[in-house]
Amino acid sequence: MTLYECFAADLLCDRTVLVTGGGSGINLAIAKAFATVGANVGICGRTAERLELAAQELRGLGAEVCATVADVRDPEALENAVSRTVQQLGGLDTVVAGAAGNFLAPVEKISSNGFRTVLAIDLQGAFHTAQASFQQLKDRRGSILFVSAPQAHLPFDSQAHVGAAKAGVESLMRSLAIEWGPYGIRSNSIVPGPIDGTEGLRRVSEQVGLDTWTASTALGRCGTLEEVAAVAVALSCPLGGFITGARIDVDGGLALCGSGLFNRARSGARAPLL
Ligand code: COA
């Protein structure tokens, strides 16, 4: 049994979702989960080829799909992605702000532009996504979901830029819950822990190894793409109807265990302890 069989196959039939960064990784998994429960799916991202492959997969699941090349740092490109999606698929019920950029680098080795780049993709991109979809979400009493990261609330070595950006995303999520609640718009975030098969996990496992990550969760394992995507669907359907301003950790207990193992392994790999 797949996780999605927990949901009715027509759960989100006639609903439309737009997923930023939906061409790959966790965001594509979320897009596929929405397709599996009957939603029309808009995706946007920076790479046309990647988006086209993702769109083919989504169509294979029976979804109507609209793929738009858009960098979330460009507000006009995002507005275009929203209006194309609405024209082709109908008004937006859910927006998933998933686009993110990351690299491992200690603070003293990040240039001003490097720091700004991650803030621009993760935080400003989330802001642009919210702003571009506001009218749609207001018209449909929809919901916005941010894909955050453990770095938002735990300090990880060589991830200061990501932590700052994702903490900002969490704050934006809560502000929107307050500001847009009166319009019936819900705003939440999910925080995936180490998830098998993702570019993000591959990057943060370099030098420290995968075992460091599994040992950092209470469940002693990595999560699956399905386990994250199913929560995104649950939050976006009537099951989540009274949930807003919430951060949902889908991390096997990483938030409880902390970042200490990773930090010791990582700092040990790059510099001797004092
Ligand atoms: N260490 C330090 N600085 C880095 C870096 C690294 N590993 N990677 C990028 N930067 C800096 C660059 O040096 C540049 O700053 P500079 O102009 O002062 O030299 C700045 O970040 C912008 O990099 P650039 O590659 O020109 O920007 P971009 O917009 O094309 O891509 C990222 C930015 C973050 C998306 C890019 O690093 C990337 O492709 N990451 C991998 C994909 C990814 O993040 N996937 C998500 C996984 S969660």
Q: What is the DSSP string of 36-82?
A: HTT-EEEEEES-HHHHHHHHHHHHHTT--EEEEE--TT-HHHHHHHH
User: Is the confidence at residue 160, as pLDDT, over 90?
Assistant: yes
Percent of the chain with pLDDT over 90: 93
Average pLDDT over residues 5-16: 93
User: Is the confidence at residue 183, as pLDDT, over 90?
Assistant: yes
Please give the biggest Cα pair distance in the chain: 59
Q: In 3D, which of 86, 190, 170, 77 has the Cα closest to residue 135?
A: 86
23 lines ligand 1 (CB under 6 A): no
Indicate the average pLDDT of the chain: 96
Average pLDDT over residues 98-114: 96
For position 179, what pLDDT does the model report? 98
Average pLDDT over residues 115-142: 98
pLDDT tier at 223 (50, 70, 90 boundaries)?
A: very high
For position 268, what pLDDT does the model report? 73
Cα 177 to middle of ligand 1, angstroms: 31
**What are the tens digits of pLDDT across the range 129-155?**
999 999 999 999 999 999 999 999 999
Atom of ligand 1 nearest to the CA of 109: 2
147 lines ligand 1 (CB under 6 A): no
Paired tokens of 199: 């570019």
Paired tokens of 131: 């702003």
For position 127, what pLDDT does the model report? 98
User: Is the confidence at residue 23, as pLDDT, over 80?
Assistant: yes
For residues 198 and 204, give the distance between their C-alpha atoms in angstroms, rounded to a whole number: 10
pLDDT tier at 273 (50, 70, 90 boundaries)?
A: low
Closest C-alpha residue for ligand 1 atom 2: 110
Atom of ligand 1 nearest to the CA of 114: 21
For residues 83 and 86, give the distance between their C-alpha atoms in angstroms, rounded to a whole number: 5
Say which of 166, 189, 236, 259 is annotated catalytic: 166
Paired tokens of 11: 């759960």
Whether 148 is a known active-site residue: answer: yes
> Which pTM was predicted?
0.96
pLDDT tier at 35 (50, 70, 90 boundaries)?
A: very high
Closest C-alpha residue for ligand 1 atom 21: 114
111 lines ligand 1 (CB under 6 A): yes
pLDDT tier at 274 (50, 70, 90 boundaries)?
A: low
Whether 166 is a known active-site residue: answer: yes
Say which of 133, 148, 205, 236 is annotated catalytic: 148
Average pLDDT over residues 107-125: 98
Query: For the chain, how far is it from start to end, CA to CA, in angstroms?
Result: 51
